[in-house]
Structure 1
Amino acid sequence: MQRLGIGAIFLALTAGAAWAHAADQGFVLLLPTDVYIAAGGITVALTVALLAVLPAGVARALFRPAMLTRRPASPRHATSLLVTAILLWLIWRGLAASRDPMANPMTLSVWVVFWIALVSLQGIFGDLWRSLNPWTGAAALVRRMTGWRAPLRYPRALGHWPGVGGFLAFAGFLLADPAPADPARLAAAVGGYWALTMGAVLLFGAPWLVRAEGITLLMRSYARMGVFGRARGRLAVGLPGWRILAAPVPSLGLAVLMLALLASGSFDGLNETFLWIGLLGHNPLEFPGRSAVIWPNLLGLMAANAALVAVLAGFLWMGDRLAGGHVPLRVLLCRYAPTMLPISLAYHISHYLTSFLMDGQYVLAWLADTLGAGHVHVSAGFLATPGTVRAIWMTQAGVVVAGHVIAILLAHAIAVRTGRGTWRATLSQAPLAVFMIGYTVLGLWLLAAPRGA
């Protein structure tokens, strides 16, 4: 174990500048993470116990939003066109500029600004994507200039399933492609996807974006977690997740996509651990490179998604039967899948926090260099002291635990809303509570586990 810790510290302190995940694992191994993990699981368990003795309407009342002013009109198409122009410029720079991921704006914009920062902000504040979507403005411009009308009707039978496939393809590229941070490779993938989606929007109209485009569905799902949103035509603010209770029950395809956000994020944390690399038969301290684990990672990603859906479905079924219900399994999955969004968002924020603190400096350095604002020194010094790493890890752990607590409150509120009293609602949620406590422990372990990739 001592050799393992020394090796992890060596990796953390000698890692080069590259788009990667947290580099603080060496010091995390020296923290009493077992105590913190146990405390996180106990906190979630106490939340369940508290809900069992509180009045039935408490959980739902916590998510009642406060009404603010009428929501002002926003120039959505103008901002969308601006984002589209920036995206096309980034694609050009990705193909023509430096192949250094930390110096090319294509890589920095996609993996740091969009995937880490914007996705997190979308889940914290609300639907920012509505104004930034890079297809809506272009489609509106084509309609205005040519009078174009979509010639095809989107097949309702497809539901949201094309979006599920699109998101899994994105996750596969992120986790299994040999070089997802290579600017030219990334530019080709992003440019091709933008063009294909634009063609589908012109053929099927706006329904393609809200039903079949994986990134838009991802962002719309996380928007349900935002503290700001619309309610009865007004801008409203509430506890994170209040829009989950206000929104209609999703279709089965959309529910599966919401679960895929959690499963894919969890596998993102697992696939670089010593455990996973060891299971694949490789020495974690002599990782052979991503090209050696393409198919294992793709199969692992698919298995993680299938396993989460199956396990959650089993716990929901047990809970419903335990409370004397006979709700169809499909209905249970659709009803409770949105309650997993706080967990997946919390893990997304926690998992990428250290990467953002490190790679975000490269974004600032590129901006300063481009604008002639001077030199920004990029430093990993904050990862060289146990105190700073402890503060980072405690923040990550706190976010994960908070996400699980919100998820339990939402699930309880939904159970009560279906007509069950406090006792029957708590009884029906008992297996789900066991699942969430276990997932809390798993999420915190993934944050603390040593990495070899």
Structure 2
Amino acid sequence: MTSPPSRTAGRRLVGRALTLCLAAVGFLLLARGVAASNAAVGLGQASRDSLSVPRWLYVATGGATIGASALLASFVTDRRFVLSIHRWRETLPGRETALRAGTAALNVLGLVLLALVIYRGFTGPQIPTVNFAVVFVFAGLRAGLTMVAYLVGNPWPALNPWRTVAERLPNGFLDYPEAFGRWPAVAGLLALVWVETTTAVTNDPALLAAAVATYSVLTVAGALAVGVDDWFRNVDPVSVFFAFYGRAAPVSREDGRLRLHLPGMRLVGDDGYGDGGGSEPVSPSWGMDDVAFAVALVWELTYSGFVTTAQGGAFVRALVGVGLPAAVVYGGLFLAGFAAFYGVYALAARVSASRLRTYRGARELAVRFAPALLAIAAGYHLAHYFAFFVSLSPSLVAVLASPLSVPPNPLVLTLPAWMGALNIAFVLGGHLLAIWVAHSTAYRLFPSRLQAIESQYPFVFVMMAYTAVSLWLISLPTASPPFLP
């Protein structure tokens, strides 16, 4: 029996109103939490002010925001409205020849920048704040280009200098083992983060240049061996890193044209690489290796935030004090934390599958809901690196404008205290977007509205836990990690 048109229209109106409430409730709770706590800190900045309210209340406020948004999202049950949100797209004006010319220009630019990183890393001043290699790699790529990837669109496939070289040489002499999937990229990402956090590459330009040169040789050799597409889709952690973040961006390139989407909506109901525009769920090509990579993007920022806090440093000192080597402590903490994050998410999938009378198993649910984690990772990254990027932007502009000379007067901006509140907004914003992505995905998976709503609860609980941890880290004063170069 169908509902009268007036009742259907009324439900639609209520659904739209509740959707707007997602942002409103989050903003009100956020504003209250910021005003009360005076938490003007970032994940990479030390706070000079103590919290004026109990930290548990500050963290609980963020968790309550996510919980409230999930409850409100569960009332938006109009499938046509949900579908219209993530299927909306517009083709941007532009000729294919212009896109090809722009891609060629970015190919050349990527090669030039790689050469400059290696050359200036070895020959430039060995002072990290003025050396082209350090400033460009960490402020320009790690912070700036990553933000462009998820806020605008992913330019890395065109900029990637290793792909530019490998595509122009004979390649594909060996078959890539399908069973490996993207697990090599997962291991590579964890290895890169480990090197970044435990070695001196962030403040030793020559060491950074040597690392980039070694990575370049290995990457090009690997791409020539197994083929360009297989290598950069499955093995190269940098390419997979940008590809995953780029799925949250509003601009994509499809069929030689640029298309505009609502932010984060390409994460809904597809495999992370399809267009996600069909009326039925797209058969996923993602696997648990892709789930692991998405979890690693969330964990690596959480780990970096923890070891750079005073409490994290005290924890490391305590373990080293009982006789454990510092390298073992950092390595164990890094791998154990990743395993815990991955295990908690997998457990949520099992709980969701066991609660529902459905033929969809835990593995499928884990895969289908995993793209929502990319919205969380984007919020974490923005909170972690936005202030860092803004403060170093004058230095970045200086080294890019004159890469072969030393900036005469390098500047680092001192940011106002209120910018610290943006970190909280970025974290909560990423989680709110993830809630909507999970909600839309559930409605593409299940014909029953009750099943669609109930399937989200375990995943929402995990998101709330992630939120509480990240907000707790933001509330802590920062310090240099002990026992590291």
TM score, norm. by length of structure 1: 0.85
| Structure 1 pair 87–379 and aligned structure 2 pair: CA distance change class (3 A) | closer
Is residue 2:367 matched to residue 1:344?
no
Change in 2 beyond 3 A, CA 1:117/1:135? same
Q: Contact 1:37–1:444 at 8 Å: present in 2 too?
A: yes
Classify the secondary structure of the residue corresponding to 2:464. helix
Which segment is superposed worse, 21-30 or 426-435?
21-30
Structure 1 unmatched ranges of 5 or more: 1-11, 13-19, 143-147, 383-387
Looking at structure 2, the residues matched to 306 and 404 of structure 1 have their Cα atoms a distance apart, in angstroms, of: 21
1:425 deviation in Å?
1.3
Given that residues 28 and 393 in structure 1 are in contact (C-alpha distance below 8 angstroms), is that contact kept between their aligned partners in structure 2?
A: no
CA contact (8 A) 1:345 1:403 kept: yes
Partner of 2:476: 449
Report the AA paired with residue 397 of structure 1. Answer: I
Are 1:124 and 2:148 an aligned pair?
Answer: no
Partner SS for 2:331: helix
Q: Which residue in 2 is equivalent to 1:269?
A: 305
- 2:351 alignment counterpart: 318
Instruction: Specify which of 61, 66, 78 is matched with residue 84 of structure 2.
Output: 61
Please list, as runs of the form range in 1=range in 2, the aligned pairs for 1:52-451 lying within 5 A after superposition.
Answer: 52-57=74-79, 58-69=81-92, 72=96, 73-75=99-101, 76-142=103-169, 148-206=170-228, 207-230=230-253, 234-245=257-268, 247-248=270-271, 249=284, 250-281=286-317, 293-367=326-400, 378-382=411-415, 388-389=416-417, 391-451=418-478
Indicate the residue corresponding to 1:145 in structure 2.
none
- The 8 Å contact of residues 173 and 180 in structure 1, kept in 2 or not, is answered as no
Aligned residue type for 2:468: V
State the one-letter code of the partner of 2:148.
L
CA distance in 2, matches of 1:237, 1:66: 5
The one-letter code of the counterpart of 2:119 is W
Task: State percent identity of aligned pairs.
Answer: 25
CA distance in 1, matches of 2:328, 2:287: 31
Gap change, CA 1:204 and 1:354, over 3 Å in 2: same
Aligned pairs, number: 419
Provide the C-alpha distance between the structure 1 equivalents of 2:115 and 2:254, rounded to a whole number of angstroms. Answer: 35
Is the CA contact 1:368–1:374 (under 8 Å) kept in the aligned structure 2?
Answer: no
Structure 1 residues 381 and 417: alpha-carbon distance in aligned structure 2, compared to 1, 3 A threshold:
closer
Residues 70, 201 of structure 1: CA spacing in aligned structure 2 closer, same or farther, 3 A cutoff? farther
Which secondary structure does the structure 1 equivalent of 2:317 belong to? coil
Does the aligned pair in 2 maintain the 1:29–1:449 contact within 8 Å? Answer: no
AA at the equivalent of 2:87:
R
Q: How many angstroms apart in 2 are the aligned matches of 1:293 and 1:179?
A: 18
Q: Shift in Å at residue 55 of structure 1? A: 1.6
1:293 CA drift (Å)? 3.4
Once the 2 structures are TM-superposed, how far is the Cα of residue 183 of structure 1 from its aligned partner? 0.4
Distance 1:393 1:150, change over 3 A: same
Alpha carbons of 1:419 and 1:35: their partners in 2 closer, same or farther (altered >3 Å)? same
Name the Cα RMSD after superposition.
Answer: 2.8
Structure 1 CA distance, aligned partners of 2:360 and 2:394? 51
Moved more, 56-65 or 302-311: 56-65
Amino acid across the alignment from 1:117: G
> What is the SS of the residue equivalent to 2:168?
helix
Q: What is the letter of the counterpart of residue 309 of structure 2?
A: T
Q: Which residue identity is paired with 1:332? A: L
Letter in 1 for 2:118: I
Is the 1:123–1:226 contact (alpha carbons within 8 Å) kept by the matching residues of 2? yes
Are 2:130 and 2:406, in contact at CA under 8 Å, matched by a contact in 1?
no
Q: Which amino acid aligns with 2:245?
A: Y
Q: Which amino acid counterpart does residue 154 of structure 1 have in structure 2?
A: Y
| TM-score normalised by L of structure 2 | 0.79
Cα distance in 2 for partners of 1:178, 1:354 equals 22
Specify whether residues 341 and 28 from structure 1 end up closer, same or farther in structure 2 by C-alpha distance, changes over 3 A only.
farther
- Aligned partners of 1:320 and 1:100: how far apart in 2? 54
C-alpha contact (below 8 Å) 1:65/1:236 kept by paired residues: no
Code of the residue aligned with 2:163 in structure 1: it is T
Q: Deviations over 1:196-229 (max 9, x none)?
A: 1001111111111111111101111111000111
Contact (CA 8 Å) 2:185, 2:240: kept in 1 or not?
A: yes
Q: Secondary structure at the match of 1:262?
A: helix
What amino acid is aligned across from residue 259 of structure 1 in structure 2? V
Distance 1:176 1:426 in 2: 43
Are residues 373 and 203 of structure 1, via their aligned partners in 2, closer, same or farther at CA, if it must alter by over 3 Å?
closer
Q: 1:26 to 1:334 in 2, by over 3 A?
A: same
Query: CA distance change for structure 1 residues 372 and 123 in 2, over 3 Å: closer, same or farther?
Result: same
Higher mean C-alpha displacement, 39-48 vs 209-218: 39-48
Secondary structure of the 1:229 match is strand
